[in-house]
Amino acid sequence: MNTSAPTTNHAELATFGSGCFWCMEALFQTLDGVKSVASGYAGGTKPNPAYKEVCSGKTGHAEVIQIEFDPQKISYEKLLDVFWEAHDPTTLNRQGPDTGTQYRSIILYHNEAQKKAAEKSKTKAQRNFSRPIVTELVPLEKFYKAEEYHQDYFRKNPNDAYCRIYIPPKLEKLEKLEAKAMKH
């Protein structure tokens, strides 16, 4: 997390699911204005789910990240832009090698303003995809933080085979997008 600019004490939360939470956590941690990112589970029915239960597909939960961000430094809309670029929102219950409902594309909004922003962003993002976006847009009922070994996974395990294969291309794509945005 880049903290070079002044920060405020005000923070907001955003909750997204778009495949493996390790990948998304690593990506969003790089954004200026993001204070913290926690991996967890949401969108299902089982209270206090464990990783193995979520992997079974029987809890209804998705692997998600919950982002604490400073809205004075990064907007919710910018987080949504990164969300759409970071995965394929047109594939149902699948991202890369990961399949199952726990890997679905989902935005869990925290309030009506986030819902409206997400709806508008989804409509805008659809222009970039030839197939329909299948991302769920639902209110966040409860976020369950994942087990400690899932937190900061890429930073703690940069040589993990999965991490080495899937995370660097996402980070490179984000860097290119940021560089392109700086030119305009």
**Hey, which residues are catalytic here?**
20
CA-to-CA distance for 125 and 62, rounded, in angstroms?
A: 21
Strands (E), the chain: 12-18, 34-42, 62-69, 94-95, 98-99, 105-109, 136-139, 144-145
Other beta carbons within 10 Å of 153: 21
Closest CA to 119 of 76, 182, 165: 76
> What amino acid occupies position 7?
T
Residue 91, Ramachandran bin (φ over 0: left; ψ between -120 and 50: alpha; else beta): beta
Residue 13: beta bridge partners? 68
CA-to-CA distance for 129 and 108, rounded, in angstroms?
A: 21
